[in-house]
């Protein structure tokens, strides 16, 4: 199912039968702010991804994927960039990996 990150949290919170206050407490934040996050009025702090994955018992890799794809999608959407940008991004990830591998060799 396709959702924004806020919708994703809300869906999983509902599945666990947690209130905003309960989930907020589990991840150490104010329930009013969590409400804003679920409604897309505020962004979720990357540092709390791990604790969110534990509170909702979701695989951290899945949560990260939801989180970052949401981030990228919003940036793309608001900057009116072609989605070709994502293709380029994938190539650049490989370029970065290769580059740091080379640098690794040099230091030895």
Which of positions 3-42 make contact with a second copy (CB under 8 A)?
A: 3-4
Q: How far apart are CA 105 and CA 35, in angstroms?
A: 48
For a second copy, give the closer residue by CB, 32 or 97. Answer: 97
Q: Cα separation of 33 and 50, whole Å? A: 18
Residues 6+ apart with CB under 8 A from 12: 56, 58
State the burial class of residue 98 (Cβ atoms within 10 Å of its Cβ: 0-12, 13-18, 19+): exposed
Q: Give whichever of 91 and 102 is closer to a second copy, judged by the CB atom.
A: 91
Query: Which option in a second copy, DNA, none does residue 41 bind, with CB closer than 5 to 8 A by kind?
Result: DNA
87 versus 100: smaller Cβ distance to DNA? 100
Could you say whether residue 66 binds a second copy (CB under 8 A)?
yes
Q: Which residues would be at the binding site for a second copy (CB under 8 A)?
A: 2-4, 46, 61, 64-66, 68-77, 79, 81-86, 88-93, 95-97
């Amino acid at each position: 199912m396709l959702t924004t990150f806020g919708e994703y949290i809300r869906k999983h919170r509902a599945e666990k039968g947690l209130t905003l206050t309960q989930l907020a407490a589990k991840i150490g934040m104010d329930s009013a702010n969590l409400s804003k996050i679920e409604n897309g009025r505020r962004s979720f702090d990357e540092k709390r991804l791990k604790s969110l994955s534990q509170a909702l018992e979701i695989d951290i890799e899945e949560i990260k994927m939801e989180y970052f794809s949401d981030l990228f999608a919003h940036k793309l959407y608001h900057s009116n960039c072609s989605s070709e940008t994502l293709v380029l991004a994938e190539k650049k990830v490989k370029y970065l990996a290769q580059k740091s591998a080379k640098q690794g060799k040099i230091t030895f």
